[in-house]
């Protein structure tokens, strides 16, 4: 049966969005030859904004809500075959910038009311909450995740360890390195977490009662039978004190100071934690100018960039006074970890610029060093306030101090099986996270009036609730056992019995493991810190490991180890068997996408590497081949995998600098090798003949195509926007070789 052959691809943002204009026209030609349809659905930040505000737009400006449609299909369509490209998980500064760009182009979307006061502003704030942060992933990830480095990527990393990811080798660690992780020892989310498993379906209320016994219902949450629900909080007074202590300690040790959070995905809690770090580092400034800052609406949660923006319109003498006081803080405090030292962008510039799963692995890769304001690398204090995951990073740092850098030529690989189905765990907590409006008590109460948990809090404390459905855990355990059986690798569930949530999950893991044949398999449950130690030991010996983790560790580990193994996490592949039977194939990680997009705009050079898009396409083709016995899909999958392998072995990934082979050149070689491999195979005569001419012309015109692609580099690229560029202009920029275009269009 060769039916139901359709692949849905998401329209993302930044570098992967730009790359799609070069890649997809050719991919469509290959899929057409096998009778496979391809469609695109918009999950971009601009697209999400427009879809949520049709009532503010002209008729011809309105767009369908593609994310809502995909949300329905992942729950109900067993034939959905979705490729997700990295998209923006918007922090407030990004949201506001996107709104401003749309408004400048005639789209009358409303301003984002950061601190809503009127009823209308509160409604707008609620509507925009559907766009902020991890708005996409919880909607479409209705399955658990198997994330890995594809075989062609791993093999090329072993062969060319110094060249992968544009020349990002692993640097040696000094035995006396002062780099270390610092975390709170109490009053954090880890300490306060309480967790229950409900025996029957119910609806719980999250209530807040102030000191005058006034009770407000903050949220009602329906729970299914067997579902886990957690509640916890962070004491912000203790957080502030902790940050101030770490700043003082970094100064005494003469090392850089840095804070690492996930203010994009954890869009309610982590920006607040980031804001306390800003206030701690610039304590003198915020205390001296408190009245002025309140008057002009400075919000530390938005970082130093927001402060500079707000003081810009002050009288010159006042502005200069504040700027002088900021400089005095830099002179007094430890030097700060820099996002871009050449442009003076610090760790505290904006909450979306330092994302823990991207920033920590680069420190590991660079021998425990981070960039300072002098444009040199130094030892660094790595501040991760909450202990839930800080201890894992603490262990990998200490492991490298003991044992030195990993060796890409010999180290094993890590496959992760991640619990993320149905908005599992912290990444699904956005609508259940609250700042305590005063001193009081948060309670979780079921519909029978039973108090499941309560927390006494102080004004401003961050309280969050999380949930995990039983069906998600059951499927996660199944996938973990299946991967263990398929590979024979040591398999570790990263769970801490001393953490409230993990203790409940461990009960379910032990229960559901009994449903499977685990004879002869090495399956263990270990605390994250111990699991990291054992995993590092095995990888150093060349052994392979399966980590079976919750949602956040899934995210963190599958940047940490791919960057260590291959120099980048942009080439990882996530395969998510959807609970209803479809498949979601996720391409890479988007942490570097903003820098790459900016480089294209400034220099017309896109160093984004599309290897993960290639492997996601292979995954989607294999799904069609296996589910529908589609012979042509299998041949396309096999030949495209050969093309990727050849591309990587020939070192044809993008260079970092203008004037070097870039993303468009990488696409040329992928297209060429794919056409050549199809023309050489003998299983399907129709496909063979279809691509013989293209393969010949692509090879014969190699010099001319490369010349045309390189000729456009070194000058600004006009795409008329960042969040909502002109697609005709993007097409012109990304399809820069007339010769290549003619061959592709004629296929």
pLDDT, residue 264, reads: 79
Whether the predicted pLDDT of 283 surpasses 50: yes
Q: What is the pTM of this model?
A: 0.83
Q: How far apart are CA 198 and CA 201, in angstroms?
A: 7
3-state secondary structure of 741: helix
Domain count, the chain: 3
Same-domain check for residues 226 and 245: no
Above pLDDT 90, what percent of the chain?
Answer: 85
Residue 76 predicted with pLDDT over 90: yes
279 has which bridge partners?
none
Residue 407 has pLDDT above 50, yes or no: yes
pLDDT digit string, tens, across residues 318-331? 999 999 999 999 99
For residues 256 and 372, is the Cβ–Cβ distance under 8 A? yes
CA distance linking residue 427 with residue 138, whole number of Å: 7
Instruction: Answer whether 671's CB lies under 8 Å from 26's CB.
Output: yes
Query: Given 465, 493, 528, which residue is the final one in a domain?
Result: 465
Please report whether residue 568 resides in a domain: no
Q: What angle do CA 248, 254, 259 make, to 5 degrees?
A: 60
> pLDDT band at residue 187, thresholds of 50, 70 and 90?
very high
- Return the structure tokens found at 614: 């290639």
Helix (H, G, I), strand (E, B) or coil at 554: helix
**pLDDT computed for residue 265 by the predictor:** 80
Residue 266 has pLDDT above 90, yes or no: no
Shared domain check, 240 and 230? no
Q: Is there a single domain that holds both residue 105 and residue 126?
A: yes
What's the mean pLDDT in 414-425?
A: 92
Average model confidence (pLDDT) for the chain? 94
Decide if pLDDT at 195 tops 50.
yes
Q: What is the pLDDT of residues 490-519, one digit of tens each?
A: 999 999 999 999 999 999 999 999 999 999
pLDDT at res. 4: 65
Q: Is residue 737 part of a domain?
A: no
Which range (267-271, 409-413, 441-445) has the least confidence?
267-271
Residues 200, 229: Cα–Cα separation, whole Å:
13
Task: Please report whether residue 108 resides in a domain.
Answer: yes
> Do 67 and 11 belong together in one domain?
yes
- Could you tell me which residues come within 8 angstroms of residue 309 by beta carbon, excluding any fewer than 6 positions away? none
Residue 293 lies in a domain: yes
Instruction: Examine the domain organization and report whether 46 and 135 are in the same domain.
Output: yes
For residue 165, pLDDT beyond 60: no
Candidates 496, 470, 493; CA nearest to 191 is 496
User: What is the model's pLDDT at position 314?
Assistant: 95
Which residue in the block uniquely carries the two structure tokens 């996660």? 476
Count helices and strands (H / E) in the chain.
29, 24
Q: For 638-663, write each residue's pLDDT tens digit.
A: 999 999 999 998 989 899 899 999 99
3-state class of 711 per DSSP?
Answer: helix
Q: How far is 540 from 535, CA to CA, in rounded Å? A: 9
From 411, 443, 465, give the residue that closes a domain: 465
Give the C-alpha separation, 30 to 603, whole Å.
31
- Structural element, H or E, at residue 433: strand 433-435
Q: Are residues 10 and 153 in the same domain?
A: yes
Judged against a pLDDT cut of 60, whether residue 3 lies above it is answered with: no
Range of the domain at 324: 180-186+236-389
Does the structure show a pLDDT above 80 at 635? Answer: yes
pLDDT at 2: 47
pLDDT confidence of residue 267 = 82
Residues 371 and 266 in one domain: yes
- 249 lies in the same domain as 319: yes
pLDDT higher than threshold 50 for residue 1: no
Which pLDDT does position 75 carry in this prediction? 93
Half-sphere exposure of 629 (CA within 13 A, CB side): 1
The last residue of one of the domains, among 339, 367, 389, is: 389
Residues 224, 249 within the same domain: no
Same structural domain for residues 140 and 37? yes
In this structure, how many other beta carbons lie within 10 angstroms of the beta carbon of residue 410? 12
Residue 91: predicted pLDDT: 83
DSSP-derived letter for residue 174 is P
How does DSSP classify residue 101?
A: H
In terms of domains, do 321 and 216 share one? no
Asked if 57 and 131 sit in the same domain, the reply is yes
Flag whether pLDDT at 466 surpasses 60.
Answer: yes
604 torsion bin: left (phi>0), alpha (psi -120 to 50), beta (else): left
What integer is the mean pLDDT of 425-442? Answer: 94
- Among 118-132, 177-191, 561-575, name the one with the lowest average pLDDT: 561-575
Domain assignment present for 506: no
């Amino acid at each position: 049966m060769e039916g139901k052959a359709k692949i849905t691809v998401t329209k993302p943002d930044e570098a992967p969005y730009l790359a799609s204009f070069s890649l997809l026209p050719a991919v469509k030609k290959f899929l057409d030859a096998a009778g496979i349809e391809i469609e695109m659905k918009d999950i971009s930040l601009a697209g999400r904004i427009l879809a949520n505000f049709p009532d503010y737009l002209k008729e011809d400006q309105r767009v369908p809500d593609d994310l809502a449609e995909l949300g329905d299909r992942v729950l109900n369509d067993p034939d959905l075959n979705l490729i997700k490209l990295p998209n923006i998980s918007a922090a407030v500064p990004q949201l506001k910038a996107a709104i401003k760009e749309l408004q400048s182009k005639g789209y009358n979307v409303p301003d984002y009311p950061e601190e809503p006061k009127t009823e209308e502003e509160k409604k707008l704030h609620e509507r925009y909450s559907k766009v902020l942060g991890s708005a996409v992933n919880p909607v479409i990830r209705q399955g658990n995740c198997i994330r890995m480095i594809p075989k062609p990527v791993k093999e090329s990393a072993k062969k060319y360890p110094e060249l992968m990811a544009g020349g990002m080798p692993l640097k040696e660690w000094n035995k006396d390195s002062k780099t270390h992780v610092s975390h709170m020892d109490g009053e954090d989310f880890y300490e306060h977490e309480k967790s229950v498993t409900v025996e029957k379906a119910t609806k719980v209320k999250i209530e807040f009662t102030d000191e005058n016994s006034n009770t407000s219902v903050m949220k009602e949450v329906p729970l299914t039978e067997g579902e886990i629900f957690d509640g916890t909080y962070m004491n912000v007074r203790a957080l502030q004190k902790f940050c101030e202590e770490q700043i003082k300690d970094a100064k005494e040790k003469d090392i850089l100071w840095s804070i690492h959070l996930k203010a994009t995905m954890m869009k309610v809690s982590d920006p607040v934690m980031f804001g306390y770090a800003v206030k701690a580092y610039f304590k003198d400034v915020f205390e001296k100018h408190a009245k002025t800052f309140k008057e002009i609406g400075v919000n530390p949660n938005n970082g130093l960039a927001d402060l500079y923006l707000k003081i810009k319109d002050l009288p010159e003498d006042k502005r200069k006074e504040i700027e002088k006081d900021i400089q005095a803080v830099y002179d007094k405090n430890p030097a700060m970890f820099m996002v871009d030292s050449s442009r003076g962008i610090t760790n505290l510039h904006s909450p979306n610029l330092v994302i823990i799963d991207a920033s920590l692995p680069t420190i590991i890769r660079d021998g425990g060093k981070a960039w300072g304001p002098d444009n040199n690398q130094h030892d660094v204090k790595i501040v991760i306030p909450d202990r839930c995951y800080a201890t894992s990073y603490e262990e990998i740092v200490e492991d490298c101090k003991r044992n030195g850098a990993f060796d890409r030529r010999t180290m094993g690989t890590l496959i992760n099986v991640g619990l993320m189905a149905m908005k599992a765990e912290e990444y699904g907590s956005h609508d259940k996270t609250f700042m305590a409006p005063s001193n009081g008590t948060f309670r979780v109460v079921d519909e029978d009036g039973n108090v499941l948990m309560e927390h006494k809090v102080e004004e401003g404390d961050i309280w969050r609730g999380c949930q995990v459905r039983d069906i998600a855990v059951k499927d996660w355990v199944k996938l973990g056992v299946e991967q263990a059986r398929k590979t024979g690798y040591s398999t570790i569930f990263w769970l801490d019995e001393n953490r409230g949530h993990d203790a409940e999950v461990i009960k379910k893991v032990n229960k559901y493991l009994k449903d499977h044949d685990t004879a002869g398999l090495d399956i263990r449950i270990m605390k994250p810190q111990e699991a990291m130690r054992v995993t590092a030991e095995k990888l150093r010996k060349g052994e392979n490991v399966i980590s079976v983790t919750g949602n956040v560790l899934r995210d963190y580990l599958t940047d940490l180890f791919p960057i260590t193994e291959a120099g980048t996490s942009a080439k990882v592949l996530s395969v998510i068997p959807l609970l209803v039977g479809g498949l979601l194939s996720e391409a890479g990680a988007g942490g570097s996408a903003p820098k790459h997009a900016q480089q294209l705009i400034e220099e017309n050079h896109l160093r984004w590497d599309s290897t993960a898009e290639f492997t996601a396409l292979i995954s989607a083709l294999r799904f069609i081949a296996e589910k529908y016995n589609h012979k042509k899909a299998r041949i396309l999958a096999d030949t495209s995998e050969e093309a990727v392998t050849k591309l990587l072995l020939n070192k044809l990934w993008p260079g970092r600098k203008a004037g070097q082979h870039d993303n468009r050149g990488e696409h040329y070689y992928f297209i060429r090798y794919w056409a050549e491999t199809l023309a050489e195979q003998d299983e399907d005569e129709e496909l063979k003949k279809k691509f013989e001419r293209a393969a010949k012309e692509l090879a014969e015109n190699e010099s001319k195509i490369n010349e045309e692609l390189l000729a456009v580099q070194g000058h600004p690229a006009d795409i008329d926007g960042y969040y909502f560029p002109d697609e005709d202009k993007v097409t012109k920029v990304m399809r820069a070789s007339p010769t290549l275009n003619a061959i592709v269009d004629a296929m």
